[in-house]
Copies of this chain bind each other. A is one copy, B any other.
Amino acid sequence: MKGFSLSRAACWAGSPLGFLAPGSPSPLLSHRAKAAGRMAENGLREKILTLESMNPCVKRVEYAVRGPIVVRALELEKELQQGIKKPFTEVIRANIGDAHAMGQKPISFLRQVVALCLCPELLSSPIFPDDAKKKAQRILQACNGNSLGAYSASTGIDLIRQDVARYIERRDGGIGSDPANVFLSTGASDAIVTILKLLVAGEGLGRTGVLIPIPQYPLYSAALAELNAVQVNYYLDEEHNWALDVGELRRALNHARGYCQPKVLCIINPGNPTGQVQSRQCIEDVIRFAMEEGLFLMADEVYQDNVYAEGSQFHSFKKVLMEMGPPYSQQQELASFHSASKGFMGECGFRGGYVEVVNMDPDVKQQLAKLVSVRLCPPVPGQALLDVVVSPPQPGDPSYQQFQGEKQAVLKALAEKAQLTERIFNQAPGIRCNPVQGAMYSFPRISLPARALERAQELGQAPDMFFCMRLLEETGICVVPGSGFGQKEGTYHFRMTILPPLDKLLTLLEKLTQFHAKFTQEFS
């Protein structure tokens, strides 16, 4: 480092010790002495914030959906842009459920309303329909200063909480929802982490344990690592279409009681990454189990509008809980999460979401309101967009036909893509895929030859990471290794979104299955 002499370094490195009273203990001392030592070697002070000194909980966080494979995919995209030759002409990011990135067009009415809120001068232009204008005026009247640019209440705009509650009531066949139990959030992820944050306490054997499905959506493992909570795995049954079995829940719980205080049970329905849709009976069983065992229920229901398989139907935990009657309906604590990022609208970028809490202690609800107030408020454009999602055009409204047309087209295409994906994967030797009943992903199991496992071990990679990396390098297809979600030992999977347009998806599936065949041959 030019211009920095050792004597100057010594000058400042020595001074802090001078400020300590003689003999006073300093936990900094050994660290600083070591730092000074290293500095002497290379003429540089050691950094204050290093891998060694940083928060160890953050270091443990892993998030496969945007992990190393995605970093590599972005690099490859840049290399392609620079004209570097590859065996493919574009990178297909099938790693994440991001509808618009895959070419899905926004639902017109949603965007019109938010644009009108942004530029109220558009209200006097004939460019947008009247129902969009009415909706925008209604939202603006509920905003502080009639502006999306003002902070809202930290729990979200009151009117929108009310609209969400009415939406939940319609969804649940009239079962009541109190707007005071609805907290808007910065996407569902934010709400999930916030509720977990409330729940995590204790030390050592008393540390909060949280039961999560395996395979899971890695937000859960990441949040638990960050909060230093204990992750307790229960395994979904791949042989029975990723069913949730209460016997397995009980096994996991009893085992966990030996090393932590299990207090929370997380359910993802429809499943991410696994795509199953739970039956009403299964949900009842889970609620009964949670009640018996004293577990707080967290129901991640962000894919509630994404159900495709014949005979499958979404049942909300809230509805089943209420229909079970007392004591369940009066006592079982539940938090249910939803989002504007998935469904038919796929507006991930707006970060709109909410949690409904049920049977939550009123004092804790106050603490929740206090906690969210520190971040001031969820993004207001996202709140506005969410409002349109939960109170869409009604029959007779000028935009009704177009809105329904656009919505149904998206859902119909998704159902076709779910079937196509399942069919093509199951035609391929060495790939087995459960039906994609719901959500936006396929999570096929792949067989990998023994020599591939050896090669992966040599590279220090999980075998399915090795497979996915090779797939990416040779075909430009980016999918996420099953190891990022968790899976039974000795099994290998990947998660792939079904969102690309039908023709592109077909090509992708064909290239992928062909690559698997070639890979299998290469390592056999």
Contacts and interface: CB of A to CB of B under 8 A. Distances in A.
Contacts of A379: 186, 349-351, 379, 381-382
A85 interface: no
Contact of A58 (B4, B61, B367): B367
Contacts of A61: 370-371, 374
Interface string A93-107: 000101111111010
B349 A150 contact: yes
A149 B325 contact: no
A100 B257 CA distance: 52
Interface stretch (A108-116, A232-240, A305-313, A416-424): A108-116
A261 B28 contact: yes
Contacts of A253: 19
Contacts of A102: 145
Contacts of A99: 149-150
B331 A51 contact: no
A327 B100 contact: no
Interface string A247-273: 000100110011011110000000000
A147 B345 CA distance: 12
Interface in A1-22: 1-4, 8-9, 12, 15-16, 19-21
Contacts of A32: 294
Interface stretch (A167-175, A194-202, A275-283, A433-441): A194-202
Interface string A311-353: 0000000000000011100110100000000000111111100
A364 B54 contact: yes
Interface stretch (A42-50, A176-184, A399-407, A455-463): A42-50
B115 A44 contact: no
Contacts of A397: none
A56 interface: yes
A211 to B, nearest CB: 13
Interface string A180-194: 000000110110010
A406 to B, nearest CB: 13
A361 B145 contact: no
A476 to B, nearest CB: 16
Interface string A122-166: 100101000000000000000111011111111000000000000
A376 interface: yes
Interface string A426-458: 000000000000000000000000000000000
Most buried by B among A24, A143, A382: A382
A373 B54 contact: no
Nearest to A254: B19
Interface of A: 1-4, 8-9, 12, 15-16, 19-21, 24-28, 31-32, 35, 44-45, 47-51, 53-56, 58-59, 61-63, 65-67, 74, 96, 98-104, 106, 111-112, 114-115, 118-119, 122, 125, 127, 143-145, 147-154, 186-187, 189-190, 193, 197-202, 205-206, 219, 222-223, 226, 250, 253-254, 257-258, 260-263, 288, 291-296, 325-327, 330-331, 333, 345-351, 359-361, 363-364, 367, 370-371, 373-382
12 contacts: A47-B331, A48-B263, A49-B361, A51-B363, A100-B145, A101-B147, A148-B349, A151-B348, A151-B349, A197-B226, A350-B381, A379-B379
